[in-house]
Amino acid sequence: MGTSAEYQIELRGVAGSDLALILAWRSDREIMQYLPSASEKLTWEEHEEYWRKAYHRDWMIDQVFGCYLLAPHRSIGIVHIIPGTGEVGIIIGAKSLWGKGIATKALTLMLEKAKEYALTKEKVWAAIHPENIASQKAFTKVGFVNTHEPGRNGQERWKLK
């Protein structure tokens, strides 16, 4: 496949029809290897219950968006932002698109969403595992720097410059 310029993506809310694919991504060790929840084994019922609760709260503590390739139209990942804390995160589940600039595009779109939540660049941050070179590259391209402050589960805290 081609370069980042050849791919158009959009972010939209996660739909019920996305849940099976998201569970498949969460069950793939290669996709999840650098994330704190990598060792969690969820049943369909647990996964579905998490998403049901997440979208039926009186107030949302986080906002999760599906990342969709426009042509051909398909779900390729998820990104999130937690307005209360400013944390952003990403999973590109479509491994065939790794290294194609999709994460950078998705993060750029997510940072636009951060503005909608009145999050200044001083409040936006990410937790990245020190061995996750692909995420480090994508976050660096959109303006993040490693603060070298410890994060949870061996991750390091990254902030926007």
Question: What is the Cα 148 distance to its own chain's centre?
Answer: 21
- Higher pLDDT, residue 128 or 70: 128
What's the average model confidence in pLDDT over 140-155? Answer: 92
In order of their start, the domains of the chain are 4-160 (3.40.630.30)
User: What pLDDT does 1 receive?
Assistant: 43
Give this prediction's pTM: 0.85
- Nearest alpha-carbon partner for 81 in 37, 131, 116: 116
User: What pLDDT does 18 receive?
Assistant: 87
Q: Please name every residue paired with 74 in a beta bridge, in sequence order, or none if there are none.
A: 69
- Nearest alpha-carbon partner for 21 in 69, 55, 58: 69
Judge whether residue 105 has pLDDT over 80.
Answer: yes
Judge whether residue 9 has pLDDT over 80.
Answer: yes
Indicate the angle between helix axes 19-26 and 44-54, nearest 10 degrees: 120
pLDDT digits (tens, 9 = 90+) for 74-95: 999 999 888 778 889 999 999 9
Judge whether residue 61 has pLDDT over 70.
Answer: no
